Homo-oligomer: A and B are copies of this chain.
Amino acid sequence: MESWPPGGSGPAEAGRRLRGLHGADLAASASLLSGAGAEAGCSAPAVAAVLPAGGSGERMGVPTPKQFCPILERPLISYTLQALERVSWIKDIVVAVTGENMEAMKYIIQRYQHKGISLVESGVTRHRSIFNGLKALAEDQPNCRLSKPEVVIIHDAVRPFVEEDVLFKVVTAAKEHGCSDYDLEFGTECLHLALKYCHIKAKLIEGSPDLWKVTYKRDLYAAESIIKERISQQICVVMDTKEDEEHVGHRLKEMLKNELNHVKVTSGRDLQQIILEQCYNFVCVNVMTSDFEETQKLLNMLEESNLSILYPVVVISVQFLDYESVPFGQKMGNLMQIREFAKEVKKTNILLYGLLVYYPQDEQKLQESLRQGATIIAALIKERNSGLIGQLLVA
């Protein structure tokens, strides 16, 4: 009841810890389960969601059904589950999958730590699948942890960008108008069909273009770009408090502001909080050249936090060096250790890169190398290219 009705705003892909939201999407629909949970009162109806996910993905032109196609190495359906999970007032989520994909789905739930998900077998049509999902929610089965909801949201497994405010509108409309599960997917035509054949007054809820359906291969590309863009907005610069380094680190930070929307700085004390707020990009400024101690600390903290379960986390370990006066051949061996670290942390979905920033006496040259450093950092963050991990880039 704590967040009903929902409000506020925050990062769209914020996940389970953050409840805020912004933007608006469309194309969930809701059914009233007659007689179920009506006693829950009007301020907080008992809401569940059913996701038909039995499709074969013929139009995609790829062998994997589209709901299981990977985006940044994570299956599409996991993003949709994440979007529904972060809505605190959705109590149960039922996913209908084919018997063939049941084990894969169980693995996805376990691997990405989805909570409150039940699985049922899908039917031969989308409507049969929805029916199976509703049945699981409606039946008072003895060993079933599902509670009878008042409203059930029917949501396509391949619409990953659904937002809480649209779901809220759908549920409110279901309570007020008694929506059918036909109403939202095909616009006005279906509103008439619902009225004609089912004598149900369907209501159209306006959404936003973000709530489109992943249908073709190009939609996977688009979804990947959208997700990359969302998790690349914010970067945290971790640096210690020693005078001199702080100076150049702060200047790097200022340069980064030209490339990225939100740049934070921490000496490490509030790092735990920043991780909780789901920042997926870190620059670690190391005091001593060829010293990865700071980076190592950050990596340990990230690994413990499980932040990288849902998205690849980018860490860029920055060293400053006047490599024109100090030939960096000797230091190179040390710096190249980053390749081994990178291989190791890749296993936990952390993408580690090294960046050596030229730090000359000449002010203008320094300015230029800092600018190039910021460009490289932004490029690494925006692309999240796992083929380039462990590389030592030079600005």
Of A214-222, A248-256, A281-289, A291-299, the one touching chain B:
A214-222
Which residues of B sit under 8 angstroms from A209, Cβ to Cβ? 59, 216, 218
Which residues of B sit under 8 angstroms from A328, Cβ to Cβ? 329, 332
For residue A226, CB closer than 8 A to chain B, the reply is: yes
Give A215's nearest chain B residue, CB to CB.
B209
* B-contact 0/1 string along A324-361, CB 8 Å cutoff: 00011110100010010000000000000000000000
Give A387's nearest chain B residue, CB to CB.
B379
Which residues of B sit under 8 angstroms from A380, Cβ to Cβ? 387-388
For residue A393, CB closer than 8 A to chain B, the reply is: yes
The secondary structure that dominates the A interface is helix
Instruction: Determine how many copies of this chain the complex contains.
Output: 2
Give min CB distance, A178 to chain B, whole Å: 30
Q: Could you tell me the distance between the alpha carbons of A212 and B212 in the complex, rounded to whole angstroms?
A: 14
For residue A83, CB closer than 8 A to chain B, the reply is: no
Q: Which of B226, B330, B388, B391 contacts A329 (CB 8 A)?
A: B330
* B-contact 0/1 string along A48-85, CB 8 Å cutoff: 00000000000100000000000000000000000000
Give A333's nearest chain B residue, CB to CB.
B327
* B-contact 0/1 string along A221-232, CB 8 Å cutoff: 111111000000
Q: Which of B212, B376, B386, B394 contacts A387 (CB 8 A)?
A: B376
For residue A378, CB closer than 8 A to chain B, the reply is: yes
Give min CB distance, A39 to chain B, whole Å: 43
For residue A375, CB closer than 8 A to chain B, the reply is: yes
- Give 7 A-B contacts (CB < 8 Å), ordered by A residue: A218-B222, A328-B329, A332-B332, A376-B391, A380-B388, A388-B388, A388-B393
Report the 4 A-B pairs with minimum CB-CB distance, sorted nearest first: A329-B329, A379-B387, A221-B225, A218-B222
